[in-house]
């Protein structure tokens, strides 16, 4: 009802304008929504060229890819709300993915990294990777808050440090850096197994369990952002740090918490990635932060700070993955895909920034 009334109201305002204002209003509308128009066009073209794009299997695939990236996006979004960023995300995913893989290698596998150790229970592994991620996040937050360094610099540095740790990790116990593979069936079942399938096509398409993990992470993030003191403080700090301090918000603690939470989210992503891909290598997680940041910006989590919704993050992640799958369905060259990604980030940021420009 409200939505319909809003549309009616807008239409009436539009009808009342003169011809020149109408033209401007239409072009504004087109520019502000150009990203969505672009995506719609991509989908339509892709469907025409490759009808399989809209098959049940393909749609579920888009869901799966998106769900796997939701935790990292939710984490980075917090840093962006604080007008910051986090470049270390991808490498933290890599490290935690390798740790997951190493601690859950099948006991029958001859070249286990920790051959002498028994299989670690899955909940303990989850806890470990979350803590490892959170510690890196805490370090990020600590340097940002205490030394007033820009998160760009801090996370640029921690990204290198974590990468170094990751490279050392994959050489433990005489390993030569080969992929840490042959994961135990239990963890494969836990992450990539399925208890619900979507009927359609030749046979039902299963929905892997990590989709539900992504869903739970989104719900938790939504709760933290909207229903807790932490969330209100985060938006206040992102909107006006000095006013937040005067109002009694513990600015430093808020910054550290946001980054710590982000790190924990990367840990969860790492836990999903290892069984999803089937192994962990030193290259796992590389450049994940780029996609996550792009998704946040597309979804309206602005670098201006203090704005953004969890629903926006979800929409952003989905839209980005629709484009990736579409580009693959169109058989677009992998190198060209990077160029397209870059352009999407630029356009999305530019459109976003337009909303906050003060017209003089």
Binding site for other proteins (CB under 8 A): 226-229, 231-233, 235-236, 239-240, 242-250, 304, 306-307
CA distance 125 to 67: 20
Output 82 or 244, the one with its CB closest to other proteins: 244
Output 243 or 336, the one with its CB closest to other proteins: 243
Backbone angles phi, psi at 40, to 5 degrees: -60, -45
Cα of 31 vs its chain's centroid, Å: 25
> Within a 10 A sphere around the Cβ of 97, how many other Cβ atoms?
29
Rg (CA), the chain: 22
Output 238 or 270, the one with its CB closest to other proteins: 238
Output 98 or 251, the one with its CB closest to other proteins: 251
CA distance 310 to 223: 9
Shortest spacing between CB 322 and other proteins, in angstroms: 29
Shortest spacing between CB 211 and other proteins, in angstroms: 27
Shortest spacing between CB 338 and other proteins, in angstroms: 33
CA distance 178 to 176: 6
Shortest spacing between CB 359 and other proteins, in angstroms: 14
Output 134 or 249, the one with its CB closest to other proteins: 249
Shortest spacing between CB 223 and other proteins, in angstroms: 8
Shortest spacing between CB 71 and other proteins, in angstroms: 21
Shortest spacing between CB 247 and other proteins, in angstroms: 4
CA distance 333 to 324: 12
Output 278 or 306, the one with its CB closest to other proteins: 306
Output 166 or 237, the one with its CB closest to other proteins: 237
Shortest spacing between CB 150 and other proteins, in angstroms: 18
Output 235 or 288, the one with its CB closest to other proteins: 235
Output 36 or 223, the one with its CB closest to other proteins: 223
Shortest spacing between CB 68 and other proteins, in angstroms: 29
């Amino acid at each position: 009802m409200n939505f319909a009334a809003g549309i009616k109201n807008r239409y009436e305002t539009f009808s009342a304008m003169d011809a020149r204002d109408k033209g401007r209003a239409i072009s504004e509308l087109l520019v502000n929504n150009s990203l969505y128009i672009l995506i719609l066009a991509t989908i339509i073209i892709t469907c025409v060229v490759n009808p399989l794009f809209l098959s049940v299997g393909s749609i579920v695939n888009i869901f799966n890819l998106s769900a796997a990236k939701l935790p990292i996006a939710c984490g980075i979004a917090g840093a962006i709300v604080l007008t910051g960023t986090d470049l270390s995300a991808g490498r933290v995913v890599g490290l935690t993915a390798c740790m997951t893989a190493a601690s859950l290698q099948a006991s029958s596998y001859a070249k286990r990294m920790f051959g002498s150790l028994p299989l670690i229970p899955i909940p303990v592994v989850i806890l470990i990777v979350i803590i490892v991620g959170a510690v890196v996040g805490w370090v990020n937050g600590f340097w940002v808050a205490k030394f007033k360094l820009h998160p760009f610099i801090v996370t640029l540095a921690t990204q290198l440090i974590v990468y170094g740790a990751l490279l050392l990790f994959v050489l433990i116990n005489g390993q030569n850096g080969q992929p840490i593979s042959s994961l135990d069936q239990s963890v494969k079942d836990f992450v990539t197994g399925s208890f619900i399938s979507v009927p359609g096509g030749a046979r039902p398409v299963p929905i892997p369990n990590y989709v539900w993990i992504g869903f739970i992470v989104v719900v938790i993030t939504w709760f933290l952002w909207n229903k807790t003191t932490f969330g209100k403080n985060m938006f206040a700090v992102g909107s006006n740090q000095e006013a937040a301090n005067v109002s009694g918000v513990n600015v430093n603690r808020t910054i550290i918490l946001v980054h710590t939470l982000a790190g924990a989210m990367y840990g969860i992503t790492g836990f999903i990635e290892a069984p999803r891909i089937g192994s962990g290598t030193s290259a796992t997680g590389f450049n994940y932060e780029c996609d996550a940041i792009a998704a946040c910006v597309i979804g309206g989590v602005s670098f201006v700070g203090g704005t953004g919704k969890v629903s926006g993050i979800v929409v952003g992640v989905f839209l980005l993955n629709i484009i990736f799958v579409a580009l693959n369905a169109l058989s677009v060259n992998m190198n060209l895909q990077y160029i397209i990604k870059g352009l999407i980030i630029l356009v999305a940021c530019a459109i976003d920034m337009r909303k906050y420009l003060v017209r003089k």
